[in-house]
Amino acid sequence: MRVLVLGGGGREHALCYLLTQSPLLTKLYCIPGNGGISEIATIPEGISIKDFESIKQFCIKEKIDLVIPGPEEPLVKGIRDHLEKEGIVVFGPEAFEANLEGSKVFAKSIMERAGVPTASYKVFDNYEEALSYVIKTGPPLVIKADGLCAGKGVSVCKTLDEAQDFLKKIFIEKIFGEAGSRVVIEEMLEGEEASYIVITDGETFKAFPTSQDHKRLLDDDEGPNTGGMGAYSPAPLITEDLKAKIEEKIILPILRTLKEEGHPYRGFLYAGLMIHNGEPYVLEFNCRLGDPEAQAILVRMEGDFLDLIVNTIEGKLASCELKERKEAATCVVMASKGYPFTYEKGKEITGLEKVKNLKDVIVFHAGTKKEKDRYFTSGGRVLGVTAVGEDLPTSIKRAYEAVSLIHFEGAHFRKDIGKKAYKYL
């Protein structure tokens, strides 16, 4: 099969890595790719991930059998709808279903109809009414811009000043543009966050290994939110009993409701959860694999990943077995100085050749570019250093040993990835 992966982050590098292990694969392309992906896939020049028409023409020219979008934006903006008009197969939801991530209001509405446990909420489309509600209700609360904001559209407001400031940025300064035309204001749920990701053909779903992300920039979950500073798998927080609750109360009702309303969901479905007193509540839905959760999850997969996707597209997921390795995995993100705000680029990365010799360690590239045999930073999150071990502590140790060998000016990483799991071990 000739496969095109869309995206250029660590998640997409992990996807490409797994796809190259399939005997079904004959040629792999990636748009826009990155320095690491360029070693295992062909990266076409001059095509933007936002240019659906150019992507379509490329797929026709190169006889692409399957397109796998990694990030949310192409899915929310309808890449599957656009390409499938030409008979090009895309693995992922259509634009309507992708609104589970593309619109907080849409997601809340369908959760309400499906009876999925989530925080109580109100929707506002102007500053005055939103502020009046905040003053009346009082903090703490969570304010979410409705649309896609690159992971920056959510603020946990513990004071009235924080809430007012964020509402001003959304409605008056319009920092998120049209994505901030509405907001969801919801109660702040307490507990511990976890990720639950499944693959589904609209009828059947199979759960991937459990994982836990670390969204804050600094150790001990301090500092601003980011796209994710690391992840580990499995997450001992999610017991077998809790898995059953998540699937019965969240995954099944959402998929059933979408199907009943004429929109069967096909692709990856990610539930960002808050676990409180042993009960799961949905913080958000995503229409794709998490990043960096994918890096920790996919290295634990057994079997032919491409074959799994093909069977899902054909509606045969029920006949498949999703196998995971017994070993644990940890991914530590190395980021540029200044991330998640203005960050530096063009810093040379050294030490990658040393890490290649380490057992059970894979470095997934994100914000990198390759010039001849040298690598340079080109994004906020630069690398996802991922290690496998017989248990979680071993995988953590191996990941940080690898991190210590890699250098670029201003490199930042958390030093406590995975440590929160120790209380469950």
Q: Which among 295, 277, 276, 304 is positioned nearest to 211, based on CA atoms?
A: 295
Close Cβ partners of 68 (under 8 Å, ≥ 6 residues apart) = 3, 4, 5, 6, 15, 19, 90, 91, 92, 309
pLDDT band at 316 (very low <50, low <70, confident <90, very high): very high
pLDDT band at 224 (very low <50, low <70, confident <90, very high): confident
Supply the pLDDT for residue 74.
Answer: 98
In the predicted structure, residue 152 carries a pLDDT above the cut 90 = no
pLDDT digits (tens, 9 = 90+) for 230-251: 999 999 999 999 999 999 999 9
pLDDT digits (tens, 9 = 90+) for 355-407: 998 999 999 999 999 999 999 999 999 999 999 999 999 999 999 999 999 99
Instruction: Yes or no: say if 1 and 64 are a contact pair by the CB < 8 Å rule.
Output: no
Strand partners, 270: 197, 286
Domains of the chain: 2-94 (3.40.50.20), 120-187 (3.30.1490.20), 192-424 (3.30.470.20)
In the predicted structure, residue 85 carries a pLDDT above the cut 80 = yes
In the predicted structure, residue 275 carries a pLDDT above the cut 80 = yes
In the predicted structure, residue 151 carries a pLDDT above the cut 80 = no
**C-alpha–C-alpha distance, residues 221 and 368, integer Å:** 26
Q: Which two tokens stand for residue 137?
A: 């209700």
% of the chain surpassing 70 pLDDT: 100
Residue 330's Cβ-count burial label (10 Å; 0-12, 13-18, 19+) is buried
Identity of residue 237: L
Whole-prediction pTM value? 0.96
% of the chain surpassing 90 pLDDT: 96
Close Cβ partners of 15 (under 8 Å, ≥ 6 residues apart) = 5, 7, 68, 70, 289, 294, 298
What would the mean pLDDT of 305-309 be, rounded to a whole number? 97
Strand partners, 124: 183
SS3 182: coil
